[in-house]
Amino acid sequence: MSLPSSNSSNSSHPSTSVDRRRATPIRVGFVMHVMQVAGAEVLVKQIIERLEDQIEPTVFCLDALGELGQQLRDAGVPVVVLDRRPGLDRNVPRRLAAEVRNRGIDLLHAHQYTPFFYSALARLLHRAPVKILFTEHGRHYPDIVSPKRRWANRLLLQRYADVTTACCDFSTRALQQIEGFSAAVTLVNGVDLGQLPPRGDRASQADLRRRLGLDLDRPYAACIARFHPVKDHAMLIRGWQLVHQQRPDARLLLVGDGPERESIESLVQQLARTASPSCPASQTFPDSIEFWGIRSDVADILRAVDLFTLTSVSEAASLTLLEAMASQCPAVVTDVGGNGEHVSEGVEGFLVPRGDHESLADRCGELFDNPKQTQAMGAAARARVIDKFDLQQTIAAYHRHYQSLAPTKTPQP
């Protein structure tokens, strides 16, 4: 099985530990909402690629196929779309249980709560003969869970999560204290260091900027995130207006797309119109922000810019933040969710309060004005990722869970 991938290459990675008692691959069913290009979905694709000789994967999508789902199908991986209807769709657990039996699935790896919920119902109501690994990636803001769901988890559904993991301690505590999954443990995300090299010397840095069309001596910040209310691009734009007043030569690259992009573009123009006429920078403010859309060269962008910023009102474990850190890019991010577990204040970057655009501007300006500090933080950021957030370690940990949950198989005579 060979998968198209811009983020990994099987030949360049050491294999994870294998239980030699098993004579056949473990049949893993991944249960997802939709295989879109997002953190959890990319992780599933990477697991399938890295463990291609050790698991037999099937992907179950509750709602739609998605771009990554199509890539996996093209590579020969079975992807089943369950066509979930709005509300509680009682046909989904019935169909999922039938697929488990027909395909001989050993375990289901459910990513996020709703995929776990339907996986649990497949066992509870339709006796699907399968173990379940439940992985939580993110949390809503505000994090409100209904009493009915909380008690259902505590009294019943948690029994059907044979292993429960979350990608950061923030999400683990939410699972334990809010949801009722008392046995939840943290299994951190990781990034592919082979695809995220250090930024190199001044000559290679200059060459990279030329290829991207960036000025050699201009300071750049980048935000790589979908345009969605949870990412709070509006706070970033207001903060950048203050940065621009002090550093009119600086540029902000906004990489991504989404439903909020048009409103953010409008906000940029609005702030320029309503700024004080006595402020010359107000006229050039829109030119200091570049909308780059969806890009396939994110790793190059992160190595070329001076800092990474993310102003979310809620995060769990941002893979883009880890990619930036691996690229020796110091971060200025909001102190929400798991961000503080990745970035130590003043070491790998800065943490600012949610919604505080003035603090954001101050920290960005500080890094732009202190290249030596920026370089030191970038080096510390990469060292932390190498130590704690290597993708190979993450996938090896998931593989150990698969081995512990799947029944031992022996070859037929």
b/e 186-215 (16+ beta carbons within 10 angstroms → b): bbbbbbbbebbeebeeeeeeeebbeebebe
Reduce the secondary structure of 188-225 to three states and give it as a string.
Answer: CCCECHHHCCCCCCHHHHHHHHHHHCCCCCCCEEEEEC
pTM above 0.75, yes or no: yes
Topology match between the domains 10-190+391-405 and 194-388: yes
Q: Token digits for 385?
A: 């990722």
CB 403 within 8 A of CB 27: no
Specify the pLDDT at position 140: 79
pLDDT tens for 352-364 read 999 999 999 999 9
CATH class (in words) of the domain with range 194-388:
alpha beta
Second-level CATH architecture of 10-190+391-405: 3-Layer(aba) Sandwich (3.40)
Mean pLDDT over 192-207 rounds to: 93
Specify the pLDDT at position 2: 37
Mean pLDDT over 77-81 rounds to: 98
HSE of 46 in the Cβ direction (CA atoms, 13 Å)? 25
Q: Does residue 23 surpass a pLDDT of 90?
A: no
Boundaries of every domain in the chain: 10-190+391-405, 194-388
Percentage, residues of the chain above pLDDT 90: 84
pLDDT tens for 316-328 read 889 999 999 999 9
